[in-house]
Amino acid sequence: MSDLHEKTFYDETHTVFGHHKSKLFQWIFSIDHKRIAILYLIVMMSFFIVAILVALSMRIELFSVGKQIMEADTYNQAFTLHGTIMIFLFVVPGIPAVFGNFLLPLLIGARDVSFPRLNLLSWWLYMFGAILAITSLFIGQGFADTGWTFYAPYSVKTGTNVIFALSAAYILGLASILTGINFVVTIHRLRAPGMGFFKMPLFVWGLYSTAWIQILATPVIGITLILVIIERTLGIGIFDPSKGGDPLLYQHLFWIYSHPAVYLMILPAFGVVSEILPTFCRRTIFGYRSIAISSALIAIIGYLVWGHHLFTSGMSEWTKIIFAFLTFFVTIPTAIKFFDWIATMYGASIVFATPMLWVSGTIITFAIGGLTGITLVTLGVDIHLHGTYFVVAHFHYTIFGGVVFMLFAAMHYWFPKFTGKMYDERKAKRAFYGIFVGFNLLWFPMFLAGAFGMPRRYYDYLPEFEIYHRVAGIGAIITIVSIFYMLYVLYKGLKEGKSCGNNPWDSTTLEWQVSSPPPLENFKHIPYVDFNPYEYEKGKPKNDLTNYIKRGKYE
Amino acid sequence: MNDSQTPEFVYDKEGKKHEVVDFNNDNTGSKLGFWLFLFTELMLFGAMFLVFCFYFFRHGSDFVHASGSLNLILGGTNTLILLISTYFMGISLLHVKENKIEKAKKTIYITIFLSIVFLVIKYFEWMAEINHGIYPDSEVLNALSKGEILFFGLYFTMTGFHGLHIIVGIIVMIWVIKLLNQQKISSEKYVLVENLALYWDIVHLVWVFLFPLFYMISFGGVS
């Protein structure tokens, strides 16, 4: 049982001004990585709810042929808003900002990240970007209608508030860069003594690769967005064909960041899988090193494949072949991870708790998402499928079925660590099944619709596609209701859940060896870590440092 | 725990001592973080250089022609000024390391002075173009060939960004002088000066590439 008298990070904190009386200020100016993580969680989930409701309104609009609830221009703004919020405000900060922030220091045996103040600044920049994006909804001609990709030359010409959206995206990118720098330095400098790189938990490996992508790829989109802003305000002509500029160059620059960015989204999610699997299989993970290195490999190869977004935009045949060829390589490290996971599960006596259910679900959905990616990058097929619902389905199967599913899994898995309480397992499983069924109903028909020629981002469609949109619409409603139900179950757990002790799942990693919720500065005594992260003996964690962390002595 | 200045140790099972890095006082970490920040700067300017290369490849002769109208002497002077200023920046770091605070301040003042001279020269160069009617989206410029429009678009954007970095550098230098006056920087604790010197080197390094690309591609050749 956790000690009730022990002070947690909810009871005391450091702010940038030292101590502050106001309870609110103790949160929004806290430099404690755990509080910042929770700030991110609250804001991100609010935006997530807004974005799924916008998506629902799009699905209602598309439920039948013809106009239902909105005009075509509103529809264009709706899908831009949905994409921009989901990508820049939810998925990109996503798992690293919430669970990375909360867990990274705990997982490596540190008291905080290397630059706690910078960490807080990142959150404030994130908030500033978010407010900027939302403001543009209500002034002038409303939110940008370009799609979240802001392709030139349309983004240079349209009358909507593109500059706001671009500035917001730029500021959010800056926040993301600062988080990345913070994480890389933390991982290099603050690992507990004895913990070599190959003794780190795999989630940390995921965060490490992600942070490098954040550092090296985000500046490229930063400058690209600024060039569009300068193009709109001063007319320098870089993306304007009438002055010799080449809009295709914009697409290249955009995807030089944005393709690595999808790996930036998925790598921490893979890390979550690698944390949850050994816990519920009660055995060490199969192929630790290959999983760790494949994260880094995915990050590196991810840089070299951006061209596959431009197969139909105008590239030489040779370039296309090279980009397609390179893209196939991404499947190798990804498949290594998948087979390692399956090998971990093979023959294990698996405990099917809710987080494990989510992982099993994602192994199915992400496999579909990943394999359709191979379909898409096959040159001849892509000419047919490019810009259709097939791409939309592929994207959502990877990002929703991979990243967001793993975010939900992490929300359940680390719920006891965040709160010290346990949610209702039976109800949480029900929520999973609801979302899983709804998810597949929502996006699987889009594969078919896309293959038969339904283009993405269209306001209206031919009657023959109605059936797919109807099924998808029903799936959307099931998904959203289940998501709300899941959040309700977690909220109930927070309010009425039973307190569950420090390590309810019998996990082996360090974060479970401090009390739940963790105290301010995590470790009273930093432990010496000279063992591998996932070692079990007869179904119980082999190394327990709880006492050492409390008293600074071995028993 | 962390507010104590004495280092904290942990003991492994054999009883060996290992030092714990104090996250509040980690100069190596600060320097590593700053290097990572410099990587982002390289990517930022790198992307712009990529755009430059792309259009230079496409409109080679237009670029060379447009480059001829820039003032090579002024650009060269600026290169030299920036080079000398990096020298003084480096010297001031050495002074701080040796705890010669007054000398360090003097060399930082010289660096600030040289950077302002750089900006003034840059201002006159820009004004020379603007007085000829050449600025983004001007009628004169839009009447020129596409390669020339792009050349000047890139010229104003890239030197503008570089100038912005100079201004940020000056602000940080003034801040460093303030901290030196308050004795918050000493020969024990000078990581900020070290990072500033690194930053100033990269600002100079970017200019070393900007100068030949914009000013020298017409050198000795096309009128």
Judging contacts by C-beta atoms under 8 Å, the chain A residues touching residue B195 are none
- Which A residues, 190 through 219, put their C-beta within 8 Å of a C-beta on chain B? 190, 192-194, 215-219
Q: Which of residues 396-455 of A touch B (CB under 8 A)?
A: none
A271 touches chain B (CB under 8 A): no
Q: Which residues of A are less than 8 Å from B147 in CB distance?
A: 244
Is residue B37 assigned to a domain?
no
CB < 8 Å to B28, chain A: 189
Interface contact A223-B147, CB threshold 8 A: no
Within a domain: residue B18?
no
Whole-number Å distance between alpha carbons of A389 and A376: 12
Neighbours of B181 (CB within 10 A): 11
Contacts of B199 (CB under 8 A, 6+ apart): B34, B38, B169, B172
DSSP-derived letter for residue A455 is B
Burial (CB count within 10 angstroms: exposed 0-12, middle 13-18, buried 19+), residue B222: exposed
Task: Kindly determine whether residue A528 and residue B13, on different chains, have CB atoms separated by under 8 Å.
Answer: yes
Instruction: Tell whether B153 lies on the interface with A, counting CB pairs under 8 A.
Output: yes
> Which member of B20, B48, B157 has the closest CB to residue A193?
B20
Taken in order of first residue, the domains within chain A and their CATH numbers are 23-551 (1.20.210.10)
- Contacting B residues, span 5-64, partner chain A, CB-CB under 8 Å: 8, 10-13, 18-21, 23, 26, 28-30, 32-33, 36-37, 39-41, 43-44, 46-48, 50-51, 54-55, 58-59
DSSP B100-116: -HHHHHHHHHHHHHHHH
Chain-centroid distance of CA B173 in Å reads 12
pLDDT at B73 exceeding the cut of 60: yes
pLDDT for the residue A355: 97
Residue B108 sits in a domain whose CATH number is 1.20.120.80
Choose among A486, A497, A478: nearest CA to A427.
A486
Choose among A110, A220, A521: nearest Cβ to B47. A220
Nearest CA in chain B to A109: B20
Count the domains in chain B.
1
Q: Is-contact A59 A82, C-beta < 8 A?
A: no
Select from B8, B19, B44 the Cβ nearest to the Cβ of A219.
B44
Q: Give the tens place of pLDDT for each residue, A473-521.
A: 999 999 999 999 999 999 999 999 999 889 999 999 999 999 989 999 9
Contacts of B15 (CB under 8 A, 6+ apart): none
Q: What is the pLDDT of residues A141-199, one digit of tens each?
A: 888 888 888 898 888 888 888 899 999 999 999 999 999 999 999 999 999 999 999 99
Q: Mutating which of A176, A184, A228, A243 best tests the B interface, going by the most B Cβ atoms within 10 A?
A: A243
How far is the alpha carbon of B102 from chain A, nearest alpha carbon, in Å? Answer: 30
Cβ atoms of A554 and A310 closer than 8 Å: no
Residues A494/A530, Cβ–Cβ less than 8 Å: no
> b/e for A120-144, b at 16 or more Cβ within 10 A?
bbbbebbbbbbebbbebeeeeebbb
Token representation of residue A226? 């600024």
CA A541 to chain centroid, in Å, comes to 29
**A218 exposure class (CB count in 10 Å sphere: 0-12, 13-18, 19+):** buried
pLDDT at A2: 44
Residue A24: CB atoms within 10 Å: 8
Identify whether B182 is part of a domain: yes
Q: Which of A522, A463, A466, A533 is nearest to A204 (CA)?
A: A533
Are A554 and B13 within 8 A, CB to CB?
yes
Q: How many other C-beta atoms lie within 10 A of the C-beta of residue A524?
A: 14
Evaluate whether A114 touches A182 at the Cβ level (below 8 Å).
yes
Q: Does residue B118 fall inside a structural domain?
A: yes
Which residues of chain B from 156 to 215 reach within 8 Å of chain A, CB to CB?
A: 156-157
* Domain ranges, residue B49: 45-216
Residue A22 CB neighbours (<10 A): 10
Contact call for residues A157 and A232 (beta carbons, < 8 A): no
The answer to whether residue B119 is domain-embedded is yes
Which chain B residues touch A113 with a CB distance below 8 Å? 23
Contact of A222 with chain B, judged by CB distance below 8 Å, is answered with yes
Residues B5, A296: Cα–Cα separation, whole Å: 37
Terminal C-alpha separation, chain A: 19
In this complex, the residue of B36, B47, B137 whose CB is nearest that of residue A253 is B47
C-alpha separations of B88 from A433, B82, B107, B108 in Å: 67, 10, 6, 7
Residue in A189, A215, A249 closest to B39 by CB: A215
Q: Which secondary-structure segment (H or E) carries B158?
A: helix B146-181
Structural domain includes residue B209: yes
- Residue A550, pLDDT score: 85
User: What are the beta bridge partners of residue B10?
Assistant: B18
Give the DSSP H/E element, type plus range, for residue B121. Answer: helix B101-131
Give residues 354 to 393 of A whose Cβ lies within 8 Å of B.
Answer: none
Return d(Cα A119, Cα A107) in angstroms, integer: 18
Instruction: Provide DSSP, A357-376.
Output: HHHHHHHHHHHHHHHHHHHH
Residue B198 belongs to a domain: yes
User: SS3 for A486-530, per residue?
Assistant: HHHHHHHHHHHCEECCCCCCCCCCHHHHCCCCCCCCCCCCCCCCC
Output the pLDDT for position A555.
65
- What is the structure's pLDDT at B4? 47
- Name the A residues in 104-123 with CB < 8 Å from any B CB: 110-116, 118
Measured between CB atoms, which of A192, A244, A528 is closest to B147? A244
Q: Is the pLDDT of residue B3 over 70?
A: no
pLDDT of residue A410: 97
What's the pLDDT at A470?
97
DSSP-derived secondary structure for A92-112: TTHHIIIIIHHHHHHHHT-SS
Residues 74-133 of B with CB under 8 A from A: none
User: Do A502 and A518 touch, CB atoms closer than 8 A?
Assistant: no
Give contacts of B8 with chain A, Cβ < 8 Å.
Answer: 526
Q: In the prediction, which pLDDT does A138 show?
A: 83
Q: How many beta-carbon pairs below 8 A join chains A and B?
A: 138
Average pLDDT over every residue of B182-198: 92
Q: Cβ(B130)–Cβ(B124) under 8 Å?
A: no
Contacts of B26 in chain A (CB under 8 A): 114, 189-190
CB-CB contact of A310 with A248 (8 Å): yes
Residue B56's CB is within 10 A of a number of other CB atoms, namely 20
Stretches where chain A sits below pLDDT 70 are 1-5, 555
Which of A187, A214, A223 would best serve as a mutation to test chain B binding (most B beta carbons within 10 A)? Answer: A223
pLDDT at A4: 52
Within chain A, how many helices (H) and strands (E) appear?
20, 4
Do A393 and A456 touch, CB atoms closer than 8 A?
no
Determine, for residues A525 and B32 on separate chains, whether the beta-carbon distance falls below 8 Å.
no
| pLDDT bracket for residue B221 (50, 70, 90) | low
The ipTM estimated for the assembled molecules is 0.91
Helix axes of B101-131 and B72-97: crossing angle, nearest 10 degrees: 160
Q: Please list every residue in chain A whose beta carbon sits closer than 8 Å to the beta carbon of residue B48.
A: 223
Question: Does residue B80 sit within a domain?
Answer: yes
